[in-house]
């Protein structure tokens, strides 16, 4: 399958999904708790159904893995779906939520598309093709290539973490980045230098691993590998990454 065709399919499907999610967001929905204690709304389910129906027709041999409805099929090509990332934001009418999709081929994330409809922004990346940001709906003429920072010294670094416990593990000589609802976006824009997030699932991480890597950064999970299914890990620019891994006592990575 041609990667250009796959990217266009991801764009087209994400745009339709984003429109559905935005309609729910603007009308207002309430969240309930799933068995694992995380919130879910009818929008999450409706958006994932749209992704599944569209992708099953367009790529019937591919597998699908979504947060709400689990895995469908077996293939070395798997579409990873997070229909509404940031459901807690979504349900309280905060615009900082995203619709996320990634395509993994043979264990490698090859395509990522993240859309923030309420912010009117989107981000995408292809393996070896770079990472980009534009307004949403996409305006190719306005798209900007993303690059992480080049900071190389802890004393000059701005480091973010998911919570206080994680923040306490970062080098004290580095400055904490201001609190943000979207630290990974700030990372790929070069506005901060690292983000430690040792939590969540593959659908939360998959698109961001590729976006960060294609913007020139690195991701290492808590086992020292690069897969997104090990409960998160460290995202950072390339210059600081190895030193941060040592400071965090992460296993040596390949």
* Residues annotated in a binding site for Mg(2+): 67, 82, 85, 204
CA 194, CA 25: separation in Å to the nearest integer? 30
| Tokens standing for residue 198 | 């040792």
Q: Label the pairing between strands 121-126 and 39-40.
A: unpaired
Which residues contribute to the annotated binding site? Answer: 67, 82, 85, 204
CA 254, CA 238: separation in Å to the nearest integer? 15
CA 123, CA 115: separation in Å to the nearest integer? 6
Burial 187-200 (b: 16+ CB within 10 A, else e): bbbbbbbbbbbbee
In contact, 216 and 224? CB cutoff 8 Å: no
């Amino acid at each position: 399958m041609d990667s250009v065709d796959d990217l266009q399919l991801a764009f087209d499907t994400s745009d339709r999904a984003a429109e559905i999610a935005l309609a729910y967001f603007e009308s207002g929905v309430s969240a309930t708790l799933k068995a694992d204690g995380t919130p879910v709304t009818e929008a999450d389910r409706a958006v994932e159904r749209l992704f599944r129906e569209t992708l099953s027709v367009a790529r019937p041999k591919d597998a699908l893995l979504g947060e709400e409805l689990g895995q469908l099929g077996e293939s070395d090509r798997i579409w990873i779906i997070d229909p509404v990332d940031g459901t807690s934001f979504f349900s309280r009418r905060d615009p900082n939520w995203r619709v996320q999709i990634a395509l993994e081929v043979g264990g490698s994330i090859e395509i990522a598309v993240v859309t923030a409809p309420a912010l009117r922004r989107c981000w995408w990346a292809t393996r070896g093709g770079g990472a980009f940001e534009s307004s949403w709906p996409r305006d190719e003429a306005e798209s900007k290539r993303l690059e992480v920072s080049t900071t190389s010294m802890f004393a000059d670094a701005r480091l973010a973490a998911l919570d206080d416990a994680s923040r306490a593990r970062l080098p004290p000589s580095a400055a904490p980045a201001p609190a943000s609802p979207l630290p990974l976006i700030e990372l790929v824009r070069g506005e901060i230098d690292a983000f430690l997030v040792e939590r969540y699932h593959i659908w939360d991480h998959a698109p961001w691993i590729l976006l960060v890597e294609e913007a020139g950064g690195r991701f290492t999970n808590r086992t020292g590998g690069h897969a997104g299914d090990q409960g998160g890990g460290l995202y950072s620019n390339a210059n600081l990454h190895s030193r941060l891994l040592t400071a965090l006592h992460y296993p040596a990575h390949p």
